Amino acid sequence: MLEYASAMDLRGSIGVVTGGASGIGLATAELLLDRGTNVILWDAADNVEDVAASIGAKGLRVDVTNPAAVRDAAQAAGEVRLLVSSAGVGSIGNVWEVSDEEWSRVLDVNLHGVFLCIREISRRMVEGGGGRIVNVASASGAIADPGMAAYCTSKAAVIMLTKVAALDLAQKGILVNAVAPGPIDTPLLQMSFIVPGVREAFERIPVPRLGTPDEVARAIVFLLESDWITGETLFVDGGAQLGGPLGAWDRIQALAGDEAPRRTSWES
Ligand SMILES: NC(=O)c1ccc[n+]([C@@H]2O[C@H](COP(=O)([O-])OP(=O)(O)OC[C@H]3O[C@@H](n4cnc5c(N)ncnc54)[C@H](O)[C@@H]3O)[C@@H](O)[C@H]2O)c1
32 inside domain: yes
For the residues of 191-244, what is the DSSP string, one character each?
A: GGGGSTTHHHHHT-SSS-S-B-HHHHHHHHHHHHH-SS--S-EEEESTTGGG--
Structural domain boundaries enclosing 237: 14-186+211-242
Q: What 3-state class would DSSP assign to 16?
A: strand
Q: Is 47 within the bounds of a domain?
A: yes
The three-class DSSP label of residue 141 is: helix
How many domains are there within the chain?
A: 1
* Contact present, 28 and 55 (Cβ < 8 Å): no
d(CA 204, CA 262): 19
pLDDT interval class at 251 (50, 70, 90):
low
Residues with Cβ < 8 Å from 36, sequence gap 6 or more?
A: 10, 11, 12
Q: Could you tell me if residue 261 is inside a domain?
A: no
Distance CA 34, CA 84 (A): 16
Mean pLDDT within 224-249: 86
% residues pLDDT > 90 (the chain):
78
For range 126-147, the mean pLDDT: 94
Q: What is the mean pLDDT of residues 189-193?
A: 90
How many Å lie between the centroid of ligand 1 and the Cα of residue 195? 20
Q: Tell me, yes or no, whether 251 lies in a domain.
A: no
Residue 126 included in any domain: yes
189 lines ligand 1 (CB under 6 A): yes
Which atom in ligand 1 lies closest to the alpha carbon of residue 20? 39
Q: Is 151 a catalytic residue?
A: yes
**Res. 248: pLDDT tops 90:** no
83 lines ligand 1 (CB under 6 A): no
Q: Is the CB of 238 under 6 A from ligand 1?
A: no
pTM of the model: 0.93
DSSP string, 68-127: HHHHHHHHHH-SEEEEEE-------B-TTT--HHHHHHHHIIIIIHHHHHHHHHHHHHHH
Q: Is 232 a residue whose pLDDT tops 60?
A: yes
| 61-95 pLDDT, tens digit each | 999 999 999 999 999 999 999 999 999 999 988 89
Inform me whether the pLDDT recorded for 59 exceeds 70.
yes
CB atoms within 10 A of CB 45: 16
* Banded model confidence at residue 147, pLDDT cuts 50, 70, 90: confident
Average pLDDT of every residue of the chain: 91
Q: Which listed residue (30, 41, 117, 151) is catalytic?
A: 151
State which ligand 1 atom lies nearest to the alpha carbon of 48: 39
Query: What confidence tier does 192 reach under pLDDT thresholds 50, 70, 90?
Result: confident
- Is 114 inside any structural domain? yes
Task: Indicate whether 156 belongs to any domain.
Answer: yes
CATH (domain of 21): 3.40.50.720
